[in-house]
Structure 1
Amino acid sequence: MPERDITSWNVAILTLANHGCVRESVELFDRMTRVENVVPNAITFVAVLSACNHGGMVEEGRRYFQMMVSEYRIKPRIEHYGCMVDILARAGFIGEALDVVSGMNCRPDAIIWRSLLDACSRQNAGVELSEAMAKLALDVPDDAVSGVYVLLSRVYAFAQKWNDVGMVRRLMSDEGLKKEPGFSSIEMDGLVHQFVAGDTSHPRSEEIYAKLDEIQQRLASSGYKPDLSEARMVAGMDHTKGAALRLHSERLAISFGLLKATPGAPIRILKNLRVCKDCHTISKLISELYGVEIIVRDRIRFHHFKDGACSCKDYWLSRSKLADWSDKQDVIRYMFYFSVFNFTQTLLRDEPAGNYKGDFLPDNILLEGFLCAIKMADYSSI
């Protein structure tokens, strides 16, 4: 480009980040600021922090956030806080992520609380803390209430609290809430083919499932074993979970792609939900076993599977070692702060606080003794 303004730099940095080219995105930011002497704006830092988030670049994220505030005197927006919280929480620094939230100059939105709850659910941070995050997410007016309940169900399932899993499901049913159904789309010969889990409606369904059986046999021969941690939440019955994983929509789309795609051409799939850990693993294996490139755009990002590897470097799938959250005083401390924070924000701001959605949760699946804990907390330590 003969002339490059701040908008073109921002678009390039963010596009690279969204496609998993995180190092290139960060290098472009450094070139922009150090070589071209272009002054970044608030949107630039959203882009570079997104790159750090996609790549699990915790130290770089901390440095760029500090640079934004100290060097460029840019007041953080909710988007910057959201990126920073997600960077830290995904890497296992949940306590530090909560500290970032407690220092925000604006009220946390539901996306931030869901990011924390998602990190808790994936990293086994403890039922009590996860319940606390769910309550705070439900306190903020938002349309994605069902997603909070699904994440909370995952926490209970991981802890094998099956009664609470059932209670959350009944609660969703009573409130008329449903988990968003997943589907995967693939374009072939100018036509879009859409699949849902266990789909048998496609005209070539018999061939698709035969190909799926062949894929499964080759995967098993290569030593693949299914990861059941994100399979449908049922007590026990691992064989049932494995069968459910095998029928996920992206697997049907990949099977169809292998049948129809021109040899050497990439298989491109669009998925409305995030790819689960097991489907991510088998997509890498299929790319290696069949010598095919698979590009999946899920709800979060692009995944480029090639030669047994993914462009995301498996970062967002990993479980980091967490601090010990078994001491409820840590939970009490944060819950007290955020209860006061939400109350004062409601008083100081003109906007309405919204419906108190936390009342949807029955007392016996909220943080145990929450009100009692607030009264007993040592305020001087906060």
Structure 2
Amino acid sequence: MKFVCMGFIEKAKYESLPQEEGQRMMEECFAYDDELRRGGHFLGGEALQAAENAVTLRIKNGQVDVTDGPYAETKEMLGGILLLEARDLNHAISLMSQHPGVKVGPFEIRPSDEPMNTLIAARGAAVQSAGAATNGSEETGATGAGGSPGLPPVVDRKAWQQALERFRGREKEATRARDALAAARRRLPMVKIEKDYQLEGPDGKVRLLDLFEGRRQLAVYHFMFAETVGGWPEAGCVGCSLLVDHLGHPAHYQARGLSLALVSLGPLANLEAYKKRMGWQLPWYSSAGTSFNEDFGVTTPQGETHGLSIFLRDGDDIYQTYHSSERGVETLLGNFTLLDMTPWGRQESWEDSPAGWPQTEPYSWWRRHDEYQAEPRVETIQ
């Protein structure tokens, strides 16, 4: 969460400090701010001049009245504002309680109104973008994009940096929301697996328990490889293949006690041949002749689907803690994450992109990694 911390100075107390002590206090404040920066808590701040340099605006008799000095005469004057990132209010209080500035005056800590700030940032970005597109460089630092379709407005570096900083606020909110979702997922209940499934692996029959390879956690990706799936019998699902390409080396999962395996309905010989073609190292098992796929909802009367199932082992007892499919497993696809950071995105027609951006129908560009042309073409949908 974001908090605004307003530091007040008791003027009499501050002015009574010897010069050396005041300087030392300032250095301590700077040092603690640096500590907050290193911890990712310091988002920014502004020091303010003395209250004597302030002016106050009021409406009197329908007119704006300007007076010298602060809004209210108090013993304490606002000395500066610090923007703080913290888990919650208690965490913010803990962080600011250690700030040396509390020795010369109180801190008022208020949670940021993030929904309102998101709206403000979005409106600012919209105005910036519209201004860049219509006003040229005179007011916004923008220059024309030559009339070419699929190009963002061009601005000077200062305007670009400002727009980027505004957008980063939204990215941070999405990150915090994703963290909160993961925390909630870790608190889901689980269900015991009662069946003793017998799958087929390279060394013969194996139990579901064997897929853990002695570890406590297991992730099973239900890979679509069956007669009803495109590519049969030589190849598996294109989308599943795209996903497995992004799972990486299993050592990175195993380091946190997680084993990872693929399970498909197709015969083991077909799976092994395709695995060799793709160059994958993950263990792959066949569920042919068992109810495994039906029980986990990936073989249905309507056909095959894919999915991710997470299991936890307690001794020889196995529990399912999570399952997801469709776009729920999209976070495993690193290419989508990277494409989403580019101006053109995934270039699919469902995306909300400006007019003129190159787009094709969803899935139409997907290929197995050894099937792409040297220079794939992207055609614009009008």
State whether TM-score is above 0.5: no
TM-score normalised by L of structure 2? 0.23
> Which structure carries more helix by proportion?
1
Between Structure 1 and Structure 2, whose CA radius of gyration is higher? Answer: 2
TM-score normalised by L of structure 1? 0.23
